[in-house]
Amino acid sequence: MRVLSVASECFPLVKTGGLADVVGALPAALRAEGVAVRTLLPGYPGVLAKVPGATPVHEFDDLFGGHARVLAAQAAGLDLLLLEAPHLFDRPGGPYNDQWGRDWPDNPQRFAALCWTAAEIGRGALADWRPDAVHAHDWQAGLAPAYLHYGAQPRPGTVFTVHNLAFQGWAPASLLSGLRLPPRAFDIDGVEFFGGIGALKAGLRLSDRLTTVSPTYAREIATPAEGQGLDGLLRSRAGVLSGILNGIDEEDWNPAHDPHLAAVFDATRPEGREANRAALRDRIGLAARPDGLVVGVVTRLTGQKGMDLLLQALPALLSHGMDLALLGAGEPALEQGFLAASAAHPGRVAVRIGYDEALAHLIQGGCDALLVPSRFEPCGLTQLCALRYGALPVVARVGGLADTVIDANEAALAAGVATGLQFAPATAPALETALARLAALWADQASWKRSQANAMHAPVGWARSVKRYVALYKDVSAMSRTNGVP
């Protein structure tokens, strides 16, 4: 089976968040199930630099304002198709923002070009390869199902995965024809969303099958409280909506041979974590306190991630004798707040602003507990890494966090199945209560070690989810055959 995966980022070529990790890891898991995935990405300068010698396989004389080519390449175990469109992607800054953090004003056209290319490939633009299904990810790929829906038949089946409903790709209605959408598309049953064009809405409305990245998030976004204005649409499409848990790449995140750790370890010899805790303290600037519990945080510093709650609860964390090792970047006020906390508590609060892959691995391998106090979390990957590395996750009871961590309540501890701590609601007082529970669990080292062993044996890879994706692809490819696609 052939699947075209369409996304705006893919690890290790380009990454701003968990979307890239999923898009990068899923093809290998699918390959073992007989699914051949080609991943279509924008040809950002950094991506093209990592795949020299890519082969042109298709050209566009005019793709939203300029000449463009599709390049075929292989890198990092991925079969890639790269959209080389210098007028859209050859610029400084990030995938979505300029070097000053401002959204590119032509983002609607940039990602419409990616989607148009996906639709053309879906309908047979490549001479030697035609997908049975197109799998589009998040708003940047949301117009791909629309172009296939409104374009010439036959077409492949479509699957759309929403990784984060909060980012919707809205554009003014005046761009309808400029985005190559027919007038009939501007309808409540098409791409229209609050008087404009909703790229995410288009994917949710016009794809054959929908998925989210955890079962709980699939339920949450169908409610007015969490639906971001799309809950009615999602309820109407409940019959084709599935919540499928993400996984992590168990080779990239494997403490038994992680080159970023001071000492490798696995579930049979977790005592190797002691050397990593010492190395983490030394590298990030925490005082040498061998018996002190280290709380790790690896995240975007945003309100969604509950980082303001952590700042409020920081006195409670310190009062329990815990230290904080934080790696992240995001909202300036939160960055400044954590830097100020680090200056006020040297040796107890260590903060690194930015992203450092090696340090992220060392935090997972060296902290005792990993804190994820998100207000909402579609799936979350950092808590899965923590489980794999034996750092007990302390998580808000939302989305995929609720689906992947077994709370160390009295019953779970008695049954010997706990893997971390959950708390609700996502408020500072509830977080403070969770930190008190964490301190109590740390004091009971027998229960702590049993929970740690459970965590390291918890399923965190793709094995439990990949078969559900395969079933979806088979389902939509059967539909496309009905429509005449070979």
* Cis preceding-peptide flag for 224 (omega within 30 of 0): no
Q: Are 114 and 140 in contact (CB under 8 A)?
A: yes
Is 15 annotated to bind a ligand? Reply is yes
Whose structure tokens read 């898991």? 29
Annotated binding site: 15
Annotated binding site for ADP-alpha-D-glucose: 15
